[in-house]
Structure 1
Amino acid sequence: MKHLLSFFLVCFISISAHSQSLKETLTTEANAYFDFMVNQDFDGVLDYMYPKVFEMAPREQMKIGMQQMFNAEDMKIQFLANDVTKVTDKKALNGIDYAAIFYSSTMKMTFLTEDEQTEEDKKGFLMFMKATMQTQFGEEHVKEELETMSLIIDMSATMFAINDPQYKGWKFLGNDDAMKMIVNSVIPESIRTELLKEN
């Protein structure tokens, strides 16, 4: 009996250490991915994206879309910080490993207004945009910076990590409304349900 208890204890410690190692690996990889986002290194971001996505939306097309979104004529978007808050255990299906990464993100949206606009007009526009963003992210998560004509948005987000033997290393796929159709077609529903309920 004593030997049996020792065996189970060793097994438990081994499984726990492996799980911790996986979570540390995914946190490190996620932070590298976030660094590319903060620095707007879109090639780096796309290198981390799950390649099956490019079968539906060509890589070059996605890069152009990112460049346009982050550097539009009337608005500039910056990610100021991204912090991993939780990494789930992995789930396997058909030889592919999946995990979910939960994180907090701080984004800055700067509106590039015309010089001839009055301060009152600028403030009115910023307050309108603030109210619009608050309906999406919640009142307490959106703050204005009138001097820079910016909104600072704090949000919670999720992405899926995928380790597919076809490709090298872990790849990521954002779990948001913009990617919903692609996520649903690439990640089996049973896997999505299992991973997201762990939050």
Structure 2
Amino acid sequence: MKTKILFFAFFLFQTITILAQDMASLRTEALKSYKASVNMNFDAIFETTYPKVFDIVSQDQMKAMFGQMMENEQFSIKLVEVEPNFSFGEIKKIEGKTFCFIDHNNVMSMKFKEPMEDAESMVEIFKSSMSAEKVTYDKLTNSFRIEMRSTLIAVADDLTKNQWKFLNKDKENKMFSMLFDEKIVKALGL
């Protein structure tokens, strides 16, 4: 009986230790991913991105898309580094893969090149289309500050050598659905 209790205690201790290590590495990697994005460090962004993404869009294509999105004829976008205040969901194991949703603060500055005619309607558009919590317009700089909570989906599996890699969660979960089967999508409530 004493052996069984000792074995159970050891097993429980190991499980708690593994989960604590998993959460510690998840926190570290999530911060690395956040900082890479804020600094627009493409190499670091690609290093923290779930690798199957690059089967759909190459790194060169992604770099070009980011470049076009961040600076074009109409506006420029800069991500503003703030305290991310990560909020970690439950770590779930499904079909040999491990997932976790991570919410974090995300702030961007969007500067328009032409004067804004109707800044108030743009504020409302940003709030609804981006689920932004706060949008402010600065007439002097012709720019919007957009504050929101964004969600990263962390994935660790054989492909990542069980290291955490990330996807940005979009509203319709299109990218996630392209990468994972319907069973996983349903199990995660997407």
TM interval, short-chain normalised: 0.7 to 0.9
Aligned residues: 187
> What is the identity percentage for the equivalent residue pairs of Structure 1 and Structure 2?
27
- Tell me if structure 2 keeps the 8 A contact 1:84–1:101: yes
Ranges in structure 2 where 5+ consecutive residues have no aligned partner: none
Task: Report the equivalent of 1:76.
Answer: 76
Q: In the TM superposition, what whole-angstrom CA distance separates every residue of 1:28-56 from its partner, at most 9, and x where no partner exists?
A: 11111111111111232122222212222
- Tell me if structure 1 keeps the 8 A contact 2:91–2:98: no
Q: What one-letter code is carried by the residue in structure 2 that aligns with 1:88?
A: E
Question: Cα RMSD over matched residues?
Answer: 2.7
- Tell me if structure 1 keeps the 8 A contact 2:37–2:45: yes
Residues 156-167 of structure 1 mapped to structure 2, 5 A cutoff: 156-167=149-160
- Tell me if structure 1 keeps the 8 A contact 2:133–2:149: no
Give me the whole-angstrom Cα distance separating, in 1, the residues matched to 2:23 and 2:89.
6
- Tell me if structure 2 keeps the 8 A contact 1:50–1:171: yes
Name which of structure 1's ranges 31-40 and 82-91 shifts more when overlaid on structure 2.
Answer: 82-91
* 1:15 and 2:5 aligned: no
Ranges in structure 1 where 5+ consecutive residues have no aligned partner: none
* 1:134 and 2:127 aligned: yes
Task: Report the equivalent of 1:85.
Answer: 87
Residue 25 to residue 131, structure 1, CA distance change in 2 (3 Å): same
The TM-score, its normalising length taken from structure 2, stands at 0.81
- Tell me if structure 1 keeps the 8 A contact 2:75–2:112: yes
Residues 44-193 of structure 1 mapped to structure 2, 5 A cutoff: 44-80=44-80, 81=82, 82-93=84-95, 95-113=96-114, 122=116, 124-137=117-130, 140-168=133-161, 169-177=163-171, 180-193=173-186
Give me the whole-angstrom Cα distance separating, in 1, the residues matched to 2:150 and 2:24.
19
3-state secondary structure, aligned to 1:147: coil
Residue 166 to residue 137, structure 1, CA distance change in 2 (3 Å): closer
Residue 182 to residue 140, structure 1, CA distance change in 2 (3 Å): closer
Q: What one-letter code is carried by the residue in structure 1 that aligns with 2:87?
A: T
Q: CA deviation at 1:99?
A: 2.6
- Tell me if structure 1 keeps the 8 A contact 2:132–2:148: no
- Tell me if structure 1 keeps the 8 A contact 2:132–2:146: no
The TM-score, its normalising length taken from structure 1, stands at 0.78
